[in-house]
């Protein structure tokens, strides 16, 4: 029995960012305007700091102006609100991203709702959520991770996903729910499952595509999969790795990768699967937002 094809998220993401860079160069030549992505991080969470640095580097690589503001962990909520309002009003800033999570004394929802919907490149503002839910894809900004999941599925199965059964394990506003909307757009039959689904194994067993986004290491067993299924593993879980030495850890997904690889037709690794796509789709969203703000139509940003 052959092993599953490994879906190389880094390679697909590189094709997306190459496409964004090419389109950005054309946009700058046409308008004289350089798209600007502004990111704010509150506190010094190491993982968040790494994400923010990576986003800034990629923004500059594709030809954007990158603006980063790091605020102390004890920054008053009013100061963050003032910064968001300042960025909303600045026409030279096209895309705003608030790195989550925020410290406990700041209300995440309040801050997200303050971001101008047309600059909300995370796609978390209720206006963008509503547009996505209503199928108004032409004026919504789409959450980056779910958008990346769809492209990874297409990289394995081709552009036409019509009629395939998709099971999304996880019902978060960040991944599960928007992923369902995006796969419905592709004419798939979509089921949202979660940690409390009865007989989860049976539900997953009927899926042509599984999107695992529940946040539990190796929760989905390889034996649950249908032969030849495509697995998109969004989970990033750190577990002990004593084989590497005392106190060492390693990253695993929500799917038991080794067991699943014997049954799946294609599978994303962790790391190196969905993660790179999230930043790539953020770049695509930034260009889309900038074009819309200047009255220009969307263009297709997809791997070649």
Respond yes or no: is residue 10 known to be catalytic: no
Distance CA 34, CA 94 (A): 9
Annotated catalytic residue, options 10, 18, 79, 99:
99
Q: Which of 55, 119, 177, 218 is flagged as catalytic?
A: 55
CA 273: distance to chain centroid?
11
Q: What angle do CA 5, 11, 17 make, to 5 degrees?
A: 150
Measured at the CA of 97, the angle between CA 131 and CA 283, to 5 degrees, comes to 80
Indicate which residue of 119, 120, 122, 233 is catalytic.
122
Half-sphere exposure of 271 (CA within 13 A, CB side): 7
11 sits in which H/E element: helix 9-31
Given a contact cutoff of 8 angstroms between Cβ atoms, the answer to whether 59 and 66 are in contact is yes
Packed helices 126-133 and 176-185: angle between N→C axes, nearest 10 degrees: 40
| Catalytic annotation present for 99 | yes
Active site (annotated) includes residue 233:
no
Catalytic residues: 55, 99, 122
């Amino acid at each position: 029995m052959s092993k599953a094809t490994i879906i190389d998220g880094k390679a697909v993401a590189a094709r997306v960012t190459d496409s964004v860079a090419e389109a950005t160069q054309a946009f700058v030549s046409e308008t004289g305007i350089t798209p600007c992505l502004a990111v704010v991080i509150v506190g010094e969470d190491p993982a968040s700091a790494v994400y923010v640095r990576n986003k800034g580097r990629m923004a500059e690589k594709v030809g954007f102006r990158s603006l980063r503001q790091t605020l102390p962990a004890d920054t008053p909520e009013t100061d963050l609100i003032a910064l968001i309002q300042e960025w909303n009003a600045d026409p030279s800033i096209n895309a705003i991203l608030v790195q989550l999570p925020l410290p406990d004394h700041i209300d995440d929802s309040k801050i997200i709702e303050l971001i101008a919907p047309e600059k909300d490149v995370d796609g978390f503002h209720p206006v963008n959520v509503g547009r996505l839910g209503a199928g108004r894809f032409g004026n919504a900004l789409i959450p980056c991770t779910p958008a990346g999941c769809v492209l990874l599925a297409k990289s394995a199965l081709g552009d036409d996903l019509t009629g395939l059964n998709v099971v999304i394990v996880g019902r978060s506003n960040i991944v599960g729910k928007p992923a369902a909307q995006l796969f419905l757009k592709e004419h798939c039959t979509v089921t949202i499952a979660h940690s409390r689904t009865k007989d989860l194994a049976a539900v997953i067993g009927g899926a042509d595509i599984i999107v695992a986004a529940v946040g539990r290491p190796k929760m989905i067993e390889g034996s649950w999969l249908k032969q030849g299924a495509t697995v998109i593993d969004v989970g990033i879980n750190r577990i002990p790795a004593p084989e590497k030495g005392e106190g060492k850890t390693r990253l695993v997904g929500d799917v038991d990768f080794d067991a699943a690889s014997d049954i799946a037709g294609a599978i994303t690794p962790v790391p190196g699967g969905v993660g790179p796509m999230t930043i790539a789709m953020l770049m695509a969203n930034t260009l889309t937002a900038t074009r819309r703000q200047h009255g220009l139509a969307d263009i297709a940003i997809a791997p070649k």
